[in-house]
Amino acid sequence: MSLIDISGNLLFIAFFAYIIGTVFIAGSIKRNDGAASRAEKWGKIGIVIAIIGFISQLGYFITRWIYAGHAPVSNMFEFTTAFGMFLVGAFILIYFMYRVTVLGLVALPIAVLFISYATMFPTEVTPLVPSLQSNWLTIHVVTAAIGQSILAISAVAGLVYLLKEVDPKTSSRERFWLEAILYFCVVVIGFVLVTITFRGMGYEAQFTYVNNNGMESEIVYNMPALFGMNESELKTEGVMEPLVEMPAIINAKKLTTVVWSFLVGTILYLLYRFIVRRPICELLHPLVKKVNSHLVDEIGYRSVLIGFPVFTLGALVFAMIWAQEAWGRYWGWDPKEVWALITWLFYAAYLHLRLSKGWEGRKSAWLALIGFAIIIFNLVFVNLVIAGLHSYA
């Protein structure tokens, strides 16, 4: 077995460890009524499995680093998996500070989603273009990702807090948005499912189209084209023609992927609602019933306090040092840079609102979730849609 195969297997082990860890942690909570000691044992086992998963993923990271000769944070697959790993790491760190197992119930599934999402992108090791061959870049990306994952724990705590505090039985604006977040997670699952399915079928449809410079180009779809590129012409036989054609300013291939994900996600969600007949937040509510809200709220604040300086160092300071070394200007208003600045400003606002305006509890939990949304936006949307210097895709 070569190093890269070992690396892949370690990632696989980590992936399943996170799933099993989640199951144990969920089990520990269910049992809370009767056998307290057994519940505690289940929780402990859950944590141990999560730690094993983390170590295994660390093994993936290191072996891939050795194999590739550069830190495995240089494309969408690598960065997103690493983010999942740091998220679990941050969860373990916070666990040892506060001993609150229930956070794992949110943190581990998010890591699972991240890794699944990551493997939808090309997973091969890619050589580095000259601008990326820099130690400062590695330090910058790794520190920024660690900072983001610690900040993300505040969203994990926020979600736990809201699952407990928002009454799932009565309809309210808060319940609507909480359910919307959970629905969005289902859409991500939808994305993973459609991608895997069509990839398994080996679906391919080749088109020629006219891009916005008026040039003829080619593009390959890996799922049935719902939307066609500008003046597109199908070149493959026996596959679906696009339903609608899009103007040149819209990338119809990406739009197709997004719409497929929403379609499948929505069907999944509706199926769930049809069978269980309750919102997801109501299903999850009993799991977090025993949670000490004050403590979870404080964990949310604390993780922002811990993560903010790390994020500043990684995403702004080290980024500026790298930019200065590579381009001779520490700041270039590249979209990715601007979104790091936006994230930073947002968490600064969070801290001020909390400290001076007394925004604690629910308000602060919502802010933490918005902060996480900005981080995700930066990772997914800015990388894939608004291309810039940092774009991996």
Which residues would be at the binding site for another protein (CB under 8 A)?
A: 75, 98, 121-122, 124-127, 129-131, 133-134, 136-137, 212, 218, 220, 247, 249, 293-295, 298, 301-302, 305-306, 308-309, 312-313, 317, 320, 324-330, 333, 335, 338-339, 341-342, 345-346, 348-349, 352-353, 355-357, 382, 386, 388, 393
Query: Residue 307: which of 107, 96, 144, 150 has the closest Cα?
Result: 150
3-state secondary structure of 221: strand
Q: Which does 212 bind (CB under 5 to 8 A by kind): ligand HEM, another protein, none?
A: another protein
Read off the amino acid at residue 305: L
CB of 316 to ligand HEM, least distance (A): 10
- Tell which one of 199, 254, 289, 352 touches ligand HEM (CB under 6 A): 352
CB contact at 8 A, 381 and 175: no
Radius of gyration of the chain from its Cα atoms, rounded to whole angstroms: 22
Q: Which is nearer to ligand HEM, 203 or 331 (CB)?
A: 331
- Tell which one of 35, 270, 276, 355 touches ligand HEM (CB under 6 A): 355
Q: Which does 169 bind (CB under 5 to 8 A by kind): ligand HEM, another protein, none?
A: none
Query: Residue 38: which of 30, 291, 285 has the closest Cα?
Result: 30
**Burial (CB count within 10 angstroms: exposed 0-12, middle 13-18, buried 19+), residue 293:** middle
Query: Residue 80: which of 109, 52, 121 has the closest Cα?
Result: 121
318-324 CB contacts, 8 Å cutoff, 24+ apart: 318/136, 318/139, 318/140, 318/143, 318/144, 319/140, 319/144, 321/136, 321/140, 322/134, 322/136, 322/137, 322/139, 322/140
Q: Does 357 engage in binding with ligand HEM (CB under 6 A)?
A: no
- Tell which one of 341, 351, 353, 384 touches ligand HEM (CB under 6 A): 351
CB of 295 to another protein, least distance (A): 7
Q: Does 342 engage in binding with ligand HEM (CB under 6 A)?
A: no
Widest pairwise Cα distance in the chain: 70
Q: Which is nearer to another protein, 338 or 380 (CB)?
A: 338
Q: Does 271 engage in binding with ligand HEM (CB under 6 A)?
A: no
Footprint of ligand HEM (CB under 6 A): 345, 348, 351-352, 355-356
